[in-house]
Amino acid sequence: MRFGLAWVRGQATATSRPGGNQAELTPLDEKLGEVLGLAQAAQDATTKVAGMEGADEFQSRLEQMSQQAAETERRVDELVDGFDGKKTAIREKAANTKSEAKEMMRTYLAEDEEALDGFEFLTMAEAGELGHWEIVTTMSDTFGEAQIAQLADWAVSVQRKHVDAVRESCLELAVSEAKG
Ligand SMILES: [Fe+2]
């Protein structure tokens, strides 16, 4: 069964890179690809929400979140750059995750232009990002990957602040929406 799964993954990798190395990613490598893609998508999402109706007073908060997402992307990419033989596959995983996250944003915000809708989307996106980083923390602790665990600890603390900031913004907007 395990062999079968590895074979299927090997085939999938081979079709995306004909003649290339068939990098076999560990579950932790795959998670790193996912958090890399989510950090990339988060920069687009915060920029999108910053441009929505009623987002004026949240500009500095959104800007900070966007910069921290860029810093997260930079740190993960720097780490992945040292993974010889696997970095291309991890970056491919990131690109897939990013396009899935952007597709989700397009679907969710199809007709919406108001900041509250935007922050509702960020409620899901930031919670998802936090959840992924907590998984990275647990996996890297389990495998004794100290360098990855250190990065994940930093990212989890950043993500907790993002989740709080988005929640506060939603509730502030809810008050103004309720008052009409
Ligand atoms: Fe974030």
Going from the Cα of 39 to the center of ligand 1, the distance in angstroms, rounded, reads: 7
Q: Mutual orientation of helices 59-80 and 146-179 as an angle, nearest 10°?
A: 160
C-alpha distances in angstroms, 174 versus 9, 64, 65, 124, 125? 46, 22, 21, 17, 19
How does DSSP classify residue 24? Answer: -
**Encoded tokens for 125:** 């996106």
| Domains in the chain: ranges and CATH | 26-179 (1.20.1260.10)
How far is the centre of ligand 1, averaged over its atoms, from the C-alpha of 36 (Å)? 11
**From first to last of its 180 residues, what are the pLDDT tens digits of the chain?**
333 443 344 434 433 444 444 578 999 999 999 999 999 999 999 999 999 999 999 999 999 999 999 999 999 999 999 999 999 999 999 999 999 999 999 999 988 889 999 999 999 999 999 999 999 999 999 999 999 999 999 999 999 999 999 999 999 999 988 997
CA of 68 to the centre of ligand 1 (A): 7
Six-digit token pair at 137?
């923390």
Q: Please check whether residue 125 is in contact with residue 176, taking contact to mean a CB–CB distance below 8 angstroms.
A: no
DSSP one-letter string for 128-176: HHHHHHHHHHHHHHHHT-HHHHHHHHHHHHHHHHHHHHHHHHHHHHHHH
pLDDT at 111: 83
Distance 34 CA to ligand 1 centre (A): 13
Centre of ligand 1 from the C-alpha of residue 74, in Å: 14
Kindly report the number of other CB atoms within 10 A of residue 47's CB atom. 14
Q: Which pLDDT belongs to residue 95?
A: 98
> What distance in angstroms lies between residue 13's CA and the mean position of ligand 1's atoms?
29
Per-residue b or e along 77-89, where b marks 16 or more CB atoms closer than 10 Å to that residue's CB: bebbeebeebbbb
Q: Measured on CA atoms in the order 50, 55, 56, 62, is the torsion positive or negative?
A: negative
Residue type, 32: L
Selection from 129, 161, 108, 113 nearest residue 41 by Cα: 129
Total-model pTM: 0.86
Give me the residues paired with residue 114 across strands: 53
Whole-number Å distance, alpha carbon 153 to ligand 1 midpoint, is 14
